[in-house]
Chain A
């Protein structure tokens, strides 16, 4: 506990980005009109596909990229023209970026040595950080003698000892194998509670974003698509892109017709008609009929025993056994539909997987549907 207190930063480290824009030479626009207020001690994850500008944004916060337009504040201070070393930030890189000629100890002590901290203090901080990260026994080793996971711990340790105001992480787990990634993800969550400072974390992996972030910023082509808590972005995606990006397997999206009949709303997809629940109908942002995009998450589709007006039918193309659940890829009239079914909910005969070609009937529960405008791609259901 004393350790945690020692490593805890007491300064108010909120980060504000106001209308930030990044244009590279050759007029390549990487980040557009980026507005975000990161609260003190908040863990914010920037997520999006490659080339969406998330890393560029992080590098602008770090001071490794110039800001073309807009303002960046860390605390009260405008940081646009402040050198990285004077921003009081620490960054963990995807490639670890350890100094190869230094031992683990020297790597971690480097920043403190530059600050001319007393030797005893350096030693204390390095050993404490090493203990937190369980790398004490490697302190005398050079980075080349470490595994990927150990190297990334050293890189994190190097950042911890500095007790930065803001902790920046640029896809720190991308180079690790799946098992280690899960383990390190948990470590980062624990670490976050221990050092309790402001985190900005970049990833392309939506699972990391969902599990780590207090808030998630979803980006595409340099634009923010949505900012929200993991629950908000999952339950109420702002647009079709977010709907498809968050959640695994991704949300099923279909072109559909919105129809109003007797004060009730229906969506028609490939001949089937699904009634919207009253709750959703009440929040609908438009009352005109017409083309929409309807979305349903794979785990929300219900398999039915019999065919009806509100069911679709399709044949199983692929059945992926995941252990506790099965992912079914079905094809109905050129549309691929993915279902996520709990094995315990299946008849005994199907628990090991459903044979290729099996015809299934299923329905979309009206309370779990997402509706998007066909043109603007924005969510049609209010929060």
Chain B
């Protein structure tokens, strides 16, 4: 009787696993399919791409790479470097200052704390497109067009990242740890940098990736502010290639450039993903 029950349980478990894995494989394939298609398309010539859809790679990969690299209208290394600089600094600033703000709101009690929190949350509701016109005007008046600063510095105020950090802090940071640091003689700022930040590592890694990718892909504001060739970022360059006139238009080149453009993001992801998984706070307090 018990044996039969065990056998039934095993079959049940097996079926459940098959179903779960099938769904997971399907979803993974769905995610990876667009990458596969990008690689396939990067290996096809413009004519082949115009002819229609194909799942098989063709032999034009290196031709496309050479064409893209040698395109006179764009400077791929420069674009990648620009994007890397902007996205990297934005990600670091966004993450650090959001964590700092979140810590301030989480750890301190002060008059008007709720109002400050509500205010930050309210900013979250305003889409960047709404404030873009005013922002571009302001930057033009300040003479800050064709500068990376207006793309990097506003990253300091990122309500969504702040909110994420605050929620994370609430779940992982017992105030006793902060108090222990205070008793140990640590200043408030040093407590944040030496104790709180390392505890927040998984959240920092997640937000570094998100902010980096968001900034890397950002086309809207950079397109409004940057027009010098040597300042252009990757998304502007891709758009430029796409809108090239008929005689120069080469979709293979565009796909190749997109493929090149996602590589740094992948590298950043691989580099940071290890710390996302790690639960660093386990064991700090009784739980």
Contacts and interface: CB of A to CB of B under 8 A. Distances in A.
Interface in A56-82: 62-64
Interface in A62-110: 62-64, 83-85, 89-91, 93-101, 110
A185 B280 CA distance: 30
5 contacts: A97-B174, A97-B285, A114-B185, A146-B283, A158-B180
A148 B285 CA distance: 9
A188 interface: no
A314 interface: no
A136 to B, nearest CB: 19
A89 to B, nearest CB: 6
A190 interface: no
B283 A145 contact: yes
Contact of B190 (A99, A114, A144, A175): A114
Interface string B243-287: 000000000000000000000000000000000000011111110
Contacts of B184: 85, 90, 110-111, 114, 158, 162
B199 interface: yes
A143 interface: yes
Contacts of A286: none
A66 to B, nearest CB: 10
A85 B284 contact: no
Interface in A201-218: none
Given A63-B182, A85-B187, 15 more contacts: A85-B182, A85-B184, A93-B176, A95-B285, A96-B284, A97-B174, A98-B285, A99-B199, A100-B280, A100-B281, A101-B201, A110-B184, A114-B186, A144-B284, A162-B184
Given A64-B182, A84-B182, A100 B187 contact: no
Contacts of A97: 174, 176-177, 179-180, 284-285
A142 interface: yes
Q: Which of B174, B181, B186, B283 gathers most chain A CB within 10 Å? A: B283
B185 A85 contact: yes
Nearest to B177: A97
B180 A115 contact: no
B9 interface: no
Contacts of B282: 100, 144
Q: Which of B174, B180, B185, B285 gathers most chain A CB within 10 Å? A: B180
Contact of B286 (A83, A85, A175): A175
A151 B180 CA distance: 14
Interface residues of B, number: 24
Interface range on chain A: under 10, 10 to 19, 20 to 34, or 35 or more? 20 to 34
Contacts of B51: none
Contacts of A175: 286
A159 B182 CA distance: 12
B107 to A, nearest CB: 12
Contacts of B177: 97-100
Interface of A: 62-64, 83-85, 89-91, 93-101, 110-111, 114-115, 142-146, 148, 151, 158, 162, 175
The 7 closest A-B pairs by CB, nearest first: A144-B283, A100-B284, A97-B176, A111-B184, A101-B198, A95-B285, A97-B180
Contacts of B182: 63-64, 83-85
A45 B35 CA distance: 66
Nearest to B179: A64
Nearest to A144: B283
Given A64-B179, A91-B179, A93-B176, A99 B185 contact: no
Nearest to A115: B185
Nearest to B285: A95
A256 B278 CA distance: 65
A94 B201 CA distance: 25
B55 interface: no
Contact of A143 (B176, B185, B186, B283): B283
B144 interface: no
Contact of A85 (B186, B199, B283, B285): B186
B284 A99 contact: yes
B284 A111 contact: no
A125 B173 CA distance: 28
Contacts of B285: 95-98
B179 A111 contact: no
A349 B78 CA distance: 97
Interface in B193-223: 195, 198-199, 201
Interface string B15-38: 000000000000000000000000
Contact of B185 (A111, A142, A146, A151): A111
A96 B183 contact: no
A93 B183 CA distance: 11
